[in-house]
Structure 1
Amino acid sequence: MVAAYLGGLPGQGWTQVGELALAFVLSAAIGVEREIRQKSAGLRTHILVGFAAALIMLVSKFGFQDVLGHNVNLDPSRVAAQIVSGIGFIGAGLIFIRRDAVRGLTTAATIWLTAAVGMASGAGLWLLAIIVTIGHFIAVFVLAPVSDMLPRSKYAPSRVHLSYLPGRGVLRRVLEVCSGQGFTMSEVSVDQRAEKDPSAVTLWLSVHGPGPVAELTATLTEIDGVLAVSGHDADSAIP
């Protein structure tokens, strides 16, 4: 019954169901990576973006066949083209600038990529959708360590997440270590997302320096009173 119903309507066959399923799976794979990294746009957001993009692509291809005629000519790409514009609003909501540092740029680009994967899935270009998804994971897991090894400009900001015990002069010692390694601090902000623990202080530090931030964080962990410290690139420190 269901098979006959699906097969009897243009654009609503098992092929289109498979294309939607592919968009769901690939978008979920990208979303899992973002969710593990605790970004603001995680699993559910990426699934919804990719899944919806695939559906809009199918609507653009098959949704107007009942009105086509001798006096009606439609461009099937016009509806699909609006996906790119719509995703721009979502991406803009994920990006914000604090002083000279940009936040959320990588997450916004991933949302854009997920929409493209959904569009390719809906268009039946399953091989391209899979290749782009694989390319995403290569960029995140393979190229990220490579970029960390490249020489950094002393003007490039990095973010340090620091948790320490108050009342021991830890922050003063942190500033001394940063200065000793050639880093300058441009911003200090309390991490509002950290759990409320009266026995510890959790901060985000924006630092600029010529060396790798990993060496700085390794030195900071040796300071008495420091509970935890980690370094991040400027565009990934805060989702």
Structure 2
Amino acid sequence: MLNEGEVVLRLVMSVVLGGFIGLERERLLVGYRTYSAGFRTHILVAVGAAVCMIVSEGLHYQFKGDAARVAAQVVSGIGFLGAGAIMREGLLIRGLTTAASLWVVASVGLACGAGYYLPAALGTLLVLFTLVLLGTFEDLVRGKGRYDLLSMVVSDMPEQVRLIRAYLEEQVGEVNKIEVSKMHEAGRVLLEVYMKIPPEKKMIDILHYLTTLPGVYRVEHRT
């Protein structure tokens, strides 16, 4: 049976490692952009998975049952939580990376709960490498790393797009590209604007003004 010190160590490790991955997701909360799973959610998933693994191991020693039975349900059960992080906006699907990070952090939590600290720590480092460094590389390959992206849900009216474009060109200069996608909601479109915002401009002021325009329902920003 596990002693109390070992139980505490496993749970603390799950909090620390899950928190590192959650912080990477949390850093994307820029401007008015919101993610459905951030710092606290990833910690909760990691701790929950660790508790399941510890309980599963304890039941095995106490009742001679299958030590993997409880923990195995975490792998399938986390799929329902991950599905909640995936959102469809018009032709675009967002949140797949966050859903994948939830699945991975559950695996890290299971490893912590089982006492496999090296795989848990190394797995966390590889996840952070993938999300941070490879994410930047992916943006550069796609040619979007050089631009800021404004994602807006607006009324499906041509004059609305012209108004927004005119304001942005007045504030920041040249707009590189505008993509318009239909959404499921009637009368709304997803507007994605790629541009380079000068350092002297305050993004929060631009976002605040855009949200005050009639027919603008949501504004998000990322680099």
Q: Give the TM-score, by structure 2 length.
A: 0.68
Which among 69, 72, 77 is matched to residue 68 of structure 2?
A: 77
Tell me by how many angstroms 1:136 deviates. Answer: 1.9
Q: What SS class does the counterpart of residue 63 from structure 1 fall into?
A: helix
How far apart, in 2, do the equivalents of 1:37 and 1:181 lie?
22
1:204-219 matches, cutoff 5 A: 205-206=191-192, 213=194, 216-218=195-197
Contact kept, 8 Å, 2:19 with 2:43, in 1: the verdict is yes
1:122 equivalent in alignment to 2:109: no
Tell me by how many angstroms 1:98 deviates. Answer: 2.2
1:128-207 matches, cutoff 5 A: 128-151=119-142, 160-161=150-151, 170-173=163-166, 181=176, 183-187=178-182, 205-206=191-192
1:93 equivalent in alignment to 2:84: yes
How far apart, in 1, do the equivalents of 2:63 and 2:132 lie?
47
- Percentage identity across paired residues of the two chains: 36
Q: 1:204 to 1:184 in 2, by over 3 A?
A: closer
Tell me by how many angstroms 1:231 deviates. Answer: 5.5
Tell me by how many angstroms 1:22 deviates. Answer: 0.7
**Which protein has the bigger helix share?**
2
Q: Give the TM-score, by structure 1 length.
A: 0.64
How far apart, in 2, do the equivalents of 1:182 and 1:44 lie?
35
Tell me by how many angstroms 1:182 deviates. Answer: 6.0
1:47-86 matches, cutoff 5 A: 47-68=43-64, 74-86=65-77
Tell me by how many angstroms 1:114 deviates. Answer: 1.0
Q: Deviations over 1:54-90 (max 9, x none)?
A: 110111112242323xxxxx32112111001111110
How far apart, in 1, do the equivalents of 2:88 and 2:129 lie?
27
Unaligned runs of 5+ in 2: 30-34, 153-159, 184-188, 211-219
